């Protein structure tokens, strides 16, 4: 399996622009997670989906952030408008889950976002 795929790997944009990050989870995984990592705050969960349905978006910082999962093999995280404080590495992770069981989360390589 190719693992979790994220694109782009690097994104540099100007403040106010819209940014869309993409993720393809591992085939067969039914849960998908978006994380943000910064030096100051470490790794934070933004939102996660189970069977394409958003379960918990309490980590999404503001209304400027939105995430979708239109099907089992694709998810997007959008920031509109972007601000310099959004600069971070954004990771996508996936896992398979069943009632009463838990499995390892597998992470993508991340998208390094720089907003100037």
Partner 1 sequence: KQEVTQIPAALSVPEGENLVLNCSFTDSAIYNLQWFRQDPGKGLTSLLLIQSSQREQTSGRLNASLDKSSGRSTLYIAASQPGDSATYLCAAPFGNEKLTFGTGTRLTIIP
Q: Which residues bind partner 1 (CB under 8 A)?
A: 31, 33, 42-43, 45, 48, 50, 55-56, 91, 93, 95, 97, 102-110
By beta-carbon proximity to partner 1, the closer residue of 65 and 91 is 91
Shortest separation between residue 102's beta carbon and partner 1, angstroms = 5
Pairing of strands 88-95, 106-107: antiparallel
Shortest separation between residue 90's beta carbon and partner 1, angstroms = 11
By beta-carbon proximity to partner 1, the closer residue of 17 and 102 is 102
Q: Tokens 């782009």 correspond to what residue? A: 8
**Phi, psi torsion values for 89, nearest 5 degrees:** -105, 125
By beta-carbon proximity to partner 1, the closer residue of 75 and 95 is 95
Helix then strand then coil, in percent of the chain rounded to 5, is 5, 55, 40
By beta-carbon proximity to partner 1, the closer residue of 62 and 104 is 104
Is the preceding peptide bond at 81 cis, omega within 30 degrees of 0?
Answer: yes
Contact 67, 3 (CB under 8 A): no
Shortest separation between residue 81's beta carbon and partner 1, angstroms = 27
Closest CA to 44 of 34, 30, 56: 34
Shortest separation between residue 34's beta carbon and partner 1, angstroms = 12
């Amino acid at each position: 399996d190719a693992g979790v795929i994220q694109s782009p790997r690097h994104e540099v944009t100007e403040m106010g622009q819209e940014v869309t990050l993409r993720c393809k989870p591992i085939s067969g995984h039914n849960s998908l997670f978006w994380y943000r990592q910064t030096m100051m705050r470490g790794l934070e969960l933004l939102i996660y989906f189970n069977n394409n349905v958003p379960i918990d978006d309490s980590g999404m910082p503001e209304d400027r952030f939105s995430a979708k999962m239109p099907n089992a093999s694709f998810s997007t995280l959008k920031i509109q408008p972007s601000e310099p404080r959004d600069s971070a590495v954004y990771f996508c992770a996936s896992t398979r889950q069943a009632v009463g069981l838990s499995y390892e989360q597998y992470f993508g390589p991340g998208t390094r976002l720089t907003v100037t």
